[in-house]
Amino acid sequence: MYFELSEEHKLLRESAREFAKSLLEGVIERDEQAKFPFEQVQQMGELGFMGMMVSEAYGGAGMDTLAYAIAIEELSKVDASAGVIMSAHNSLVLYGLQEFGTEAQKEKYLKPLASGKKLGAFALSEPEAGSDATSQHSTAEDKGDHYLVNGIKNWITNGGNADIYLVIAQTHPEKQHRGINVLIIEKGMPGFTVGPKENKLGIRSSDTHSLSFNDVKVPKENRIGEDGFGFKFAMKTLDGGRIGIAAQALGIAAGAYQLALAYAKERKTFGKPISEHQAIQFKLADMEVEIEAARMLTYKAAWLKDQGKPFAKEAAMAKLLASEVAMKTTVEAVQIHGGYGYVKEYHVERMMRDAKITQIYEGTSEIQRLVIARDILK
Ligand code: CAA
Ligand code: FAD
């Protein structure tokens, strides 16, 4: 067992931390106005954050999953919206293209995505298929040289600003989940429209849209993997994606804790800093313990993936714990700030709103428990 980060990982953490400082500027306005951080995402591309785990041969940074988790954690300490934009793009889009795409797909789609010139989105969820992801209503009818895609996708992160979408749809309903495909669909393909932006509780500067497909002709060469591979593709993709969301949740918790700790040392009541009241000390102690536990699980899941070992259960465990810790820590961070925590300038109210989504997307906490229970009982 070796618990020290390598020099390379420490350097990466420093550069992500340095970049994250620039996210602070305008973070409250971006949240209030639900404004996508275009400029910041472009800089993230230049720094290699938008293609972190893609090999250098395809224009990526060629780093490992641990480095990726560390970078998302650092960004999310300041701006969880930037964290999810990066997570969805890297782990839900680039991973699958690199792992299962053809050389032609990698040339055409992976390269511009990995350099950050283009943005990706992953479309699995539907109005009636969220947790129950196998019950896909969207269809990709096999027409010989192309698929005809029809249906609606819901809640798609990067939905309005993406250029390239990985869309899951049913081709052979009689085969149930084994008849599902995943197709690469480009913005602008006739019949593909993006719905209005959702007005959300948190991660407001990340854009979330429904997508609608009306007789969209998608060339056969845009299918990833064998016919019927789409659902397995989605599940394998989400295993890695859950490490990204665990890291996002960890970052939100750690960011709120840092603010609460600093505030507790400064704010005085009854003649002494509130950090000298035992009730506040115990909250801080719990935060420290729980954040460290979430970090260990998240890094372990990333490490397992990097070692080529099974990691689906550990990714679900990390996402479950880190998201619960993010919610609890941010609520307590607001409490430690008293009335000041309830207003925007102190950031913790935004972090509390941002934390909630980590218990919902990429599989709710209930679904993580289901995945973990199935693994331990199998
Ligand atoms: N890896 C590979 N294959 C897997 C798998 C995994 N981790 N998990 C399941 N499968 C396969 C199974 O082997 C099975 O295939 P076979 O029958 O061929 O063996 C098939 O998938 C169906 O599996 P189940 O029978 O277990 O299906 P189920 O319906 O009982 O449960 C589920 C599946 C785990 C609940 C799944 O539907 C699920 O993960 N739901 C949550 C969906 C989700 O996380 N959505 C996130 C959307 S993206 C997002 O949210 C992005 C964002 O916010 C930024
Ligand atoms: P439901 O599945 O209807 O669940 C409702 C409640 O029932 C939940 O509490 C759930 O845990 C519980 N429940 C359901 N089934 C069970 C069960 N078997 N046992 C116990 N409890 C259960 N999807 C994408 O494909 N791509 C994206 O980029 C994306 N981004 C998102 C961004 C945001 C901001 C949001 C809000 C969602 C996003 N999603 C995305 C969708 C997200 O993954 C789903 O919302 C999530 O998986 C839950 O599905 P649902 O909303 O349909 O809830």
- Could you report the per-residue pLDDT of 260-301, keeping only the tens digit for each? 999 999 999 999 999 999 999 999 999 999 999 999 999 999
Active-site positions? 362
Low-confidence ranges of the chain (pLDDT < 50): none
Residue written as tokens 């064998």?
226
State the distance from the centre of ligand 2 to the C-alpha of 5, rounded, in angstroms: 34
Q: Using the 8-state DSSP alphabet, how is residue 85 labeled?
A: H
- The closest ligand to the CA of 313 turns out to be 1
Amino acid 342: pLDDT? 98
Q: What is the pLDDT of residues 49-100, one digit of tens each?
A: 999 999 999 999 999 999 999 999 999 999 999 999 999 999 999 999 999 9
Pocket of ligand 2 (CB under 6 A): 88, 122-125, 130-132, 155-157, 200, 208, 357, 360-364, 366-367, 370
d(CA 378, CA 367): 16
Check: CB of residue 326 under 8 Å from CB of residue 253: yes
Closest ligand 1 atom, residue 157 Cα: 54
ipTM tops the 0.90 cut: yes
Q: What is the pLDDT of residues 6-15, one digit of tens each?
A: 999 999 999 9
Pocket of ligand 1 (CB under 6 A): 84, 88, 92, 122, 124-125, 131, 133-134, 157, 177-178, 231-232, 235-236, 238-239, 312, 361-363, 367, 370-371
Amino acid 234: pLDDT? 98
Measured between its terminal Cα atoms, the distance across the chain in Å is: 28
Amino acid 1: pLDDT? 83
3-state SS, one letter per residue, for 307-333: CCCCCHHHHHHHHHHHHHHHHHHHHHH
Rounded to two decimals, the pTM is 0.98
Give residue 175's Cα distance to chain centre. Answer: 30
Q: Inter-axis angle of helices 230-266 and 348-357, to 10 degrees? A: 160
Closest CA to 211 of 194, 196, 187, 190: 194
How do 180-186 and 139-142 pair as beta strands? unpaired
Maximum Cα–Cα distance across the chain: 78
d(CA 297, CA 295): 6
